[in-house]
Amino acid sequence: MADHNKLGEEGESIALEYLKDKGYKILETNWRSGREEIDIIAELDETLIIVEVKTRQNDYSGSPEQFVNNQKQRRLIKATSNYIDETNFNGETRFDVISIIIGAGQPEINHICDAYYVKV
């Protein structure tokens, strides 16, 4: 497995524990719809939370959340729409980004709620 894949898996594991500790109910991880993937699907207070996890070893080339660009957002929105159709979810939806920097020592976690807004 490539190093960046291991880093991504480690970041997703950290994000899962973080969300669980905050009281989120984890519904799915790495949920796929065709070529699209949602890292974490959770629920909190009857709101569907779509979480994109971005992990880096450092922030030399920018903070991890900066890499959730418009194209990535559109793909996540499409996958979310498919998830909602499949599960018949009827409620509010929120898009979050969890940015993790794994350097020496404790990982730095930045949880951005409502990172971008769309109607699904």
Query: How many Å apart are CA 114 and CA 107, to the nearest integer?
Result: 22
This prediction's pTM:
0.90
In a domain, 43, yes or no: yes
In a domain, 49, yes or no: yes
Q: How far apart are the first and last CA of the chain?
A: 35
- Beta strand pairing call for 108-116 and 36-44: unpaired
In a domain, 64, yes or no: no
In a domain, 29, yes or no: yes
- Using the structure block, give the residue that is written with the tokens 């905050």: 22
* In contact, 38 and 31? CB cutoff 8 Å: yes
Q: How many domains does the chain have?
A: 1
CATH of the domain at 88: 3.40.1350.10
The model's confidence at residue 5, banded by pLDDT at 50, 70 and 90, is: confident
The model's confidence at residue 60, banded by pLDDT at 50, 70 and 90, is: confident
At 19 the three-state DSSP class reads helix
In a domain, 32, yes or no: yes
In a domain, 28, yes or no: yes
Mean pLDDT of 102-118: 87
Q: 15-55, pLDDT tens digit by residue?
A: 999 999 999 999 999 999 989 999 999 999 999 999 999 99
- Domain of 30 in residue numbering reads as 3-53+70-116
